[in-house]
A = this chain, B = another copy of it.
Amino acid sequence: MSERIWTAALVVIGDEILSGRTQDKNIAQLATWLNVQGIRLAEVRVVADREAAIVEAVDTLRHRCDYCFTTGGIGPTHDDITVDAIAKALGVAVVVHPEARAILERYYATRGGLTDARLRMARVPDGAELITNRVSGAPGIRHGNLFILAGVPHITAGMLEALTGTLEGGRPLIARTIGCWVGESEVAELLRATERTYRGDGDVAAVAIGSYPFFREGRTGANFVVRGTDPAVLDACLAALVDALETAGHDVVDGGI
């Protein structure tokens, strides 16, 4: 019995990420939010503020995944070229969205008025809808399966909140973590065998075990994360893993170390 897995991609747009100036936070933020919507983050690309780079990434990923998100490059300055690039990828014109214009007029009424630069933030690819931005005025943009979000993480968060529950997805991805004070190489074979029993044979595994080693307090340990969408399969895989680890003589810490 095969389950439909809904997928999403993210294109992070910004020289500030590629130069190392800014530590990206939107990958983890979007991934976590998508899990709750029952959508799997399948691929991320980080590209520069260059039209050709944005067009290529968006055009590939919007066809490959059910949903494609972008973050960054929707402000009022010259380095904000996301809307123009995406319109180009979609083969549509850039238009001023009347509702976005009205939102910005209200927002800037007491803040010096709607200048040409600010009006840039009302520009959308023709045919787009708006995504509410309760934080800072300028809205996000939805065009079909494309979601164009702000780059500043707390503004991105507000836009995701506005989208919560509006996207069709499957069952949420759930994850259970356990930990052992053991080098992962000592238990590699039992991890492999346990996963093989439960992973299924689809392109996307029904359940997957990740192994994440660490070195802490002078000791070697590892956390094992079991991920999947079917609670019954997940529980069975987790129980088998705990059993195998304990049989091999390792104490298992529920919830991870």
Contacts and interface: CB of A to CB of B under 8 A. Distances in A.
Interface of A: 12, 15-25, 27-32, 34-35, 40-49, 53, 75-79, 111-112, 115-118, 120-121, 136, 152, 173, 175, 183-186, 188-189, 191-192, 195-196, 208-215, 225, 227
A22 B212 contact: yes
Contacts of A212: 16, 21-22
A173 B77 contact: no
Contacts of A75: 184-185, 211, 213
Given A27-B46, A46-B27, A188-B76, A41 B19 contact: yes
B32 A43 contact: no
A192 B21 contact: no
Given A15-B210, A19-B227, A185-B117, A43 B41 contact: no
A5 to B, nearest CB: 12
17 contacts: A15-B208, A15-B227, A16-B210, A17-B31, A18-B27, A18-B43, A20-B35, A22-B28, A43-B45, A46-B46, A77-B192, A78-B209, A79-B208, A79-B211, A117-B188, A121-B185, A152-B214
A69 to B, nearest CB: 13
A15 B22 CA distance: 23
Given A16-B210, A188-B76, A215 B136 contact: yes
Contact of A47 (B43, B47, B76, B175): B43
B41 A31 contact: no
Contact of A20 (B18, B28, B208): B28
Contact of A186 (B23, B27, B34, B117): B117
A180 to B, nearest CB: 13
A53 to B, nearest CB: 7
A229 to B, nearest CB: 12
A189 B161 CA distance: 32
